[in-house]
Amino acid sequence: MSDAFRISLTDLRRQEGSLLELHRSIPAPDTFATALVRTIGDITVDGALQSVSEGVLITGTVECTTVAECARCLIEVEEDVNLDVTELYFYQDRAKALQESGDEEAEEVPLIENDSIDIEGLLRDAIVGQMSFIPLCSEDCAGLCSVCGERLADLPDDHAHEKDPSEMTALDELRAKLAAEEQGK
């Protein structure tokens, strides 16, 4: 946990309905990523902290930029992300009361510790959760030419390669091998 993600609650009264504005810009850590997509630059959080009977409710928007490589043509794709977040951070005594009442999910709730909250998990889950499993530069991306490897969108419509008739592809070689094996039976 980084101190950049820790928000002090000392200025927020513990009286229900009390509000504290939240404006923060945090450098995106390496952990805000998947195998294909990562967050770059700063993560901006704008919102409010509100005292409620169980703890502190955080609501707001998160803005950041993600970057990935298109799964079809391999160009770098940047995307501006704007998300709404909401999370309730529990006072420790309230979370303990929930656990004692048999609430099995109470062990997983985010807690207020040392009069502060840590929003790293909230932001990571929101940002990484919206990342694409298969990033694309566009839905109709044609990918790469299977012969020359160039991006098809950058090539003319009549792009083609002449195939040398004496040149055997791996598929032709496999087909010939299987035919020979079949004849040898």
Domain spans of the chain? 3-129, 152-183
pLDDT at 74: 92
Greater model confidence, 58 or 149 = 58
Cβ partners under 8 Å of residue 23, min gap 6 = 45, 46
Q: Kindly indicate the confidence band of residue 168, based on its pLDDT and cuts at 50, 70 and 90.
A: low
pLDDT for 57 beyond 90: yes
3-state secondary structure of 122: helix
Q: Which of 143, 125, 124 is nearest to 69 (CA)?
A: 143
Band of residue 126 on the pLDDT scale cut at 50, 70, 90: very high
Q: What is the CA radius of gyration of the chain?
A: 27
Strands in 70-127 per DSSP E: 76-90, 116-118
DSSP state of 93: H
Cα distances (angstroms) measured from residue 139 to each of 31, 43, 72, 131: 27, 27, 10, 15
- pLDDT tens by residue, 77-107: 999 999 999 999 998 888 888 878 887 777 7
Phi-psi region of 73 (alpha: psi -120 to 50; beta: other; left: phi over 0): alpha
- The predicted model scores a pTM of 0.79
